[in-house]
């Protein structure tokens, strides 16, 4: 396959099918001699994980793994992982998996050398400067899904197990030192996870593209990211072994995360509290609320989305783009609304207030108030 490359933007990425064989070399490049591989419960016994541990062991790097990671990882998962990391005398983390494992792996590498509690490093103002940066361990990231893009991000989403709020933990040094993007690792993803994670990548690109902040580089990346999803997500969904479609989706995921430095918006502002309280799949939730949010933002994004529609080969400007999202969701078997997604007895008042506190709210092109956000949320059921 020709889809191979070595990229240094935004961090060194070894891209291409089969490149997981470079895992020991990637650890060496990151300065890691005794890694802890952080994965999740679902991945722990899969072939791709066992083979990766084999590669590490053959290279004399041990085969230590921590996999007690919940789908929405919380501070208790982090504490358990940090304990294992310290007791094992590790000197770096391989974050291996989907968004949950990548986010938790990054946090373990971050927190293993800190003395303050994790919530002191929430992404607020310059709180990240409270950290002892020299004590942050190096990270090699290996995504096995194509959605979160956390492998190229400087933040982790951790759920507070007491308050059920999702918090963004940020530090520039938790950007992984080396990334291996091997699309073969994503071949085993079942269709509904392919769909949900793929729509997360699309939501990152779409929200970054619509955010009013000035960041032309992100704008371009977001646009091409949407095109890659449009061309490849239906193919990867229908035929999970289509390695080219898987490769392009893995690129789109990294691009979405790179682009959303420009900001996210109401899709994520709604999706975060719904996921935290009702344990819904993050990307699938984004897909469900996407059309209502487009309608909500219409006055501010109509012209911009007409440009995107032209580039994506969608006719009809904003209306065409809106209709396309509905068709894509239907093609991917995404539930039609939050009720169908399984959100029962929602506390609309609480969800609205949490949405307004979510950092993504600041990137939405229309100002979100209690009244309009409550109406928006109601329209998602």
184 or 200: CB nearest Fe ion? 200
Q: Which two tokens stand for residue 151?
A: 């492998």
How many residues bind Fe ion (CB under 5 A)? The answer is 1
Strands of the chain, DSSP E = 5-7, 13-15, 35-38, 65-66, 92-97, 139-143, 155-159, 166-170, 178-181
- Give the SS3 label for residue 337: coil
Angle between the N-to-C axes of helices 282-312 and 266-278, in degrees from 0 to 180, rounded to the nearest 10: 160
Binding string to Fe ion for residues 190 to 209, with x set by CB under 5 A, is what?
Answer: ----------x---------
Question: Among candidates 92, 37, 90, 47, which has minimal Cα distance to 68?
Answer: 37
Residue nearest Fe ion (C-beta atom): 200
Interface of this chain with Fe ion, residues 117 to 136, rule: CB under 5 A: none
84 or 148: CB nearest Fe ion? 148
> Residue holding tokens 């507070």?
160
Q: How far apart are CA 261 and CA 144, in angstroms?
A: 22
65 or 168: CB nearest Fe ion? 168
| Least gap, CB of 98 to Fe ion (angstroms) | 12
| Least gap, CB of 282 to Fe ion (angstroms) | 6
HSE-up (13 A, CA, CB side) for residue 311? 18
Q: Does residue 75 touch Fe ion according to CB under 5 A? A: no
Q: Which two tokens stand for residue 189?
A: 């993803």
| Least gap, CB of 283 to Fe ion (angstroms) | 7
Q: How far apart are CA 200 and CA 218, in angstroms?
A: 17
103 or 184: CB nearest Fe ion? 103
| Least gap, CB of 203 to Fe ion (angstroms) | 6
32 or 226: CB nearest Fe ion? 226
| Least gap, CB of 325 to Fe ion (angstroms) | 16
182 or 200: CB nearest Fe ion? 200
What residue ranges bind Fe ion (CB under 5 A)?
200
């Amino acid at each position: 396959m020709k889809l191979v490359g070595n990229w240094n933007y935004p961090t060194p990425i070894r891209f291409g099918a089969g490149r997981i064989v470079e895992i020991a070399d990637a650890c060496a490049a990151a300065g890691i001699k005794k890694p802890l591989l952080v994965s999740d419960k679902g991945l722990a016994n899969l072939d791709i994980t066992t083979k990766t541990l084999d590669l590490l062991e053959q290279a004399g790097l041990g085969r230590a793994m921590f996999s007690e990671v919940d789908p929405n990882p919380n501070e208790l998962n982090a504490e358990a992982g940090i304990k294992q990391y310290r007791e094992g005398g590790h000197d770096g983390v391989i974050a291996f998996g989907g968004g949950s494992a990548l986010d938790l792996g990054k946090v373990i590498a971050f927190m293993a050398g800190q003395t303050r509690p994790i919530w002191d490093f929430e992404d607020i103002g310059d709180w990240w400067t409270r950290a002892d940066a020299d004590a942050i361990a190096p990270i090699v990231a290996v995504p096995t899904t194509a959605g979160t893009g956390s492998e190229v991000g400087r933040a982790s989403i951790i759920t507070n197990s007491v308050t059920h709020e999702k918090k963004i933990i940020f530090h520039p040094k938790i950007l992984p030192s080396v990334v291996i993007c091997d699309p073969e690792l994503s071949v085993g993803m079942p269709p509904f996870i392919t769909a949900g994670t793929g729509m997360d990548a699309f939501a990152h690109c779409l929200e970054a593209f619509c955010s009013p902040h000035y960041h032309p580089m992100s704008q371009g990346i977001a646009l091409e990211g949407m095109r890659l999803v449009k061309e490849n997500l239906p193919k990867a969904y229908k035929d999970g072994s289509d390695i080219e479609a898987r490769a392009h989706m893995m690129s789109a995921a990294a691009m979405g995360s790179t682009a959303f430095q420009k900001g996210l918006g109401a899709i994520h502002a709604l999706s975060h509290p719904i996921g935290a309280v009702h344990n819904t799949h993050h990307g699938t939730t984004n897909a469900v609320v996407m059309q209502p949010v487009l309608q909500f933002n219409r006055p501010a994004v109509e012209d911009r989305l007409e440009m995107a529609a032209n580039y994506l080969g969608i006719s009809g400007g904003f209306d065409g783009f809106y209709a396309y999202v509905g068709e894509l969701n239907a093609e991917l078997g995404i539930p039609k609304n939050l009720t169908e997604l399984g959100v029962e007895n929602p506390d609309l008042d609480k969800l609205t207030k949490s949405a307004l506190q979510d950092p993504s709210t600041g990137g939405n092109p229309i100002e979100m108030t209690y009244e309009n956000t409550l109406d928006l949320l109601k329209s998602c059921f």
